[in-house]
């Protein structure tokens, strides 16, 4: 049997057995569901580093320590958030309007897993799906299959030990594009959670099933002159966020736009924090290494260290370099480094004024980043309000992009799936959580005499 047939068969088996497990799981006491979710999260904690090692070894993307932190965030912070969220049974009631709302599961979740975050995304999606009373079938990227299956296996075994039906949590063991497509459109699949590249997201939306998906994130980071006395901390936040796991997160900064009054000092602080500013010729060579053409990142350059990228572009950098930076003046494919880059590479723009800086940040978001995220560093509330008209689903203020966006350094919902709204064709601009994986049933009593309609609208 060829690979596609094996994958299609695996998808059909998984969808059918997941549906049967879901039917058995229906009606489980929400307290028992919570206990299962907590047990799965606790089981991941001691395995977080081992799974990170497996992910780096198998995919070749990112670094072990940051992938460990991603695993821990999803096992602990996401689980802590879910513990206080009601997803099943009565959600709320209003005595005045005589309406009560009840949460009910959607069914079988088809979860597409990206190669950039092959373990942490599984942790997040499994915890969220089960918290909402659903079954879940994960379809990893083929390059992350082994570490994905190991992650899911840990969680599935613990869930079954806690009384969850066998098959509630599954991972396809043979994965191809055709097999993943079969999973998404299978009659037993209720909803698709798609995290991955543009082709994967398009396939998810064309599956004919309700789909939660995300778009690209060309995240601008505007630094206003009001931060002139705090530029060392601003520089550390930017470099830490962009270098985290070698830039594999869509929500990390992609371009820095600095007011003219502080651009020179910010550049200096960024250098002290480990940024290497490329010459024009180095930047051009770097662009040819990262991109094969417009909208075509070279997958072999995703999630690589600054030193690996510099070596591929044939120039030398200092030993402690954390991030590569290209001075830019234009936005568009004529300057590829102004686009999203899933590696530790930043564009840097010096604005002519604050108004110009904000407009430049907006143009960066509109180019390859509609709907995702934007970052502003400013101590002037009016500047923040002006910047916040950017066409993105989240605007993060005085915080690192990745940590703020995923809900660690801000009070947004902890999530590893950040909706991008209708700006980029997504159904939601929220940080996706278990609350997006339930149907809400409303029970409404009559609150006014029904015959009154004839009097109210009489001719």
Q: Count the residues in the chain.
A: 459
Q: At what angle do helices 3-25 and 177-185 cross, to 10 degrees?
A: 30
| H or E segment to which residue 211 belongs | strand 211-213
Structure token digits, residue 430: 């929220």
CA-nearest of 434, 439, 10 to 193 is 434
| Residue owning tokens 């209708």 | 422
Q: What DSSP designation does 391 have?
A: S
Q: What is the CA radius of gyration of the chain?
A: 23
For residue 143, give the DSSP letter.
Answer: G
Which residue in the list 138, 147, 171, 250 is annotated as catalytic? 250
Q: Collapsing DSSP states into helix, strand and coil, what is residue 398?
A: coil
Residue pair 343/302 in contact by the 8 Å Cβ criterion: yes
Residue recorded with tokens 């840097």: 348
* CB distance 24 to 165 below 8 Å: yes
Phi, psi (5° rounding) for residue 226? -65, -10
Please say if 250 is a catalytic residue.
yes
Which of 221, 281, 223, 299 minimizes the C-alpha distance to 60? 299
* Secondary structure (3-state) at 276: strand
Give the residue numbers annotated as catalytic, written as ranges: 250
């Amino acid at each position: 049997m060829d690979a596609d047939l094996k994958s299609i068969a695996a998808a059909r088996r998984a969808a059918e057995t997941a549906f049967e497990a879901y039917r058995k799981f229906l009606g489980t006491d929400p307290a028992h569901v919570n206990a299962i979710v907590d047990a799965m999260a606790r089981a991941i904690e001691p395995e977080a580093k081992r799974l990170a090692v497996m992910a780096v070894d198998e995919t070749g993307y990112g670094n072990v320590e940051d992938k460990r932190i991603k695993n821990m965030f999803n096992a602990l912070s996401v689980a802590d958030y879910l513990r206080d969220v009601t997803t099943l049974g009565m959600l709320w009631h209003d005595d005045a309007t005589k309406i009560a709302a009840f949460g009910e599961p959607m069914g079988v979740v088809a979860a597409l897993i990206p190669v950039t975050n092959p373990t942490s995304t599984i942790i997040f999606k499994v915890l969220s799906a089960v918290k909402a009373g659903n079954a879940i079938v994960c379809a990893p990227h083929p390059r992350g299959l082994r570490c994905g299956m190991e992650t899911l296996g840990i969680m599935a075994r613990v869930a079954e030990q806690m009384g969850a039906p066998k098959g509630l949590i599954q991972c396809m063991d043979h994965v191809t594009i055709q097999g993943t497509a079969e999973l998404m459109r299978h009659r037993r699949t209720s909803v698709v959670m798609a995290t991955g590249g543009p082709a994967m997201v398009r396939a998810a939306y064309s599956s004919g099933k309700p789909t939660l998906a995300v778009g690209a994130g060309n995240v601008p980071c505007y630094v206003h002159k009001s931060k002139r006395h705090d530029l060392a901390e601003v520089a550390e936040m930017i470099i830490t966020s962009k270098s985290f796991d070698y830039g594999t997160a869509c929500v990390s900064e992609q371009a820095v736009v600095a007011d003219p009054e502080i651009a020179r000092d910010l550049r200096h602080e960024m250098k002290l924090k480990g940024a290497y500013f490329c010459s024009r010729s180095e930047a051009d060579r770097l662009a040819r290494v990262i991109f094969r053409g417009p909208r075509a990142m070279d997958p072999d350059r995703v999630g690589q260290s600054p030193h690996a990228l510099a070596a591929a572009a044939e120039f030398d950098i200092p030993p402690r370099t954390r991030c590569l930076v290209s001075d830019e003046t234009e936005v568009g494919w004529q300057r590829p480094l102004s686009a999203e880059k899933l590696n530790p590479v930043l564009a840097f723009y010096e604005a002519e004024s604050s108004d110009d800086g904000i407009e430049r940040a907006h143009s960066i978001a509109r180019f390859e980043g509609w709907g995702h995220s934007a970052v502003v560093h400013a101590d002037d509330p009016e500047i923040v309000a002006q910047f916040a008209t950017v066409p993105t689903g989240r605007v993060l203020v005085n915080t690192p992009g990745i940590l703020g966006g995923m809900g660690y350094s801000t009070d947004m919902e902890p999530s590893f799936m950040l909706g991008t709204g209708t700006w980029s064709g997504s159904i939601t601009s929220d940080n996706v959580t278990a609350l997006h994986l339930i149907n809400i049933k409303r029970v409404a009593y009559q609150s006014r005499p029904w015959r009154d309609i004839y009097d109210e609208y009489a001719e």
